[in-house]
Amino acid sequence: MSNNSVIIAPATLQQVSAIEQCAVLAYKPYIARMNKTPAPMVADFKKQVQQQWVHVALLTEKTIGYIVCYPMHNTLHLENVAVLPDYHGMGVGKMLIQTAEAQALEKGLNEIQLYTNVLMHENIKMYAHLGFEEYDRKNQDGFERVFFRKPVP
């Protein structure tokens, strides 16, 4: 697979079930580690798509990943990003995050903020690799979360 063949596009209501399936497959491995269902597995994707918060990564029309982000104060809040396990390590997540960076610039926002679970070690490492800086850790909504931010140039 080449990154040139992956298309990032706004999600449509017809893609909600593929987005839900992607969330289940991407986050399922964390259930045993966290001893609870990760929040993205129960998100209201239909509502998020209707609010135009979701973009999908498409490979020959197949949804292989998605990102949920929206403006919050002077930042872009990256709510959720996931890629089907068969496509991990191929740069799809990076492409989705670059989409969020472009959205922040378009909206005149100066920073992207996100959080992940303290037990999602892979995510913590990935966000640091992509230039995000950890700025807080706390329990929120019953989850131990690690908070990151990245300035938008």
Asked whether the whole model's pTM tops 0.85, one would answer: yes
Sign of CA dihedral 129, 130, 131, 134: negative
User: What is d(CA 108, CA 28) in angstroms, rounded to the nearest whole number?
Assistant: 35
3 burial level (CB within 10 Å; 0-12, 13-18, 19+) = exposed
Q: How confident is the model over 16-25, as pLDDT tens digits?
A: 999 999 999 9
All domains of the chain in start order, with CATH: 3-151 (3.40.630.30)
**CA 19 to centroid of chain Cα atoms:** 11
Q: How confident is the model over 132-153, as pLDDT tens digits?
A: 999 999 998 888 999 999 999 7
Look at residue 2 and tell me whether its pLDDT is greater than 80: no
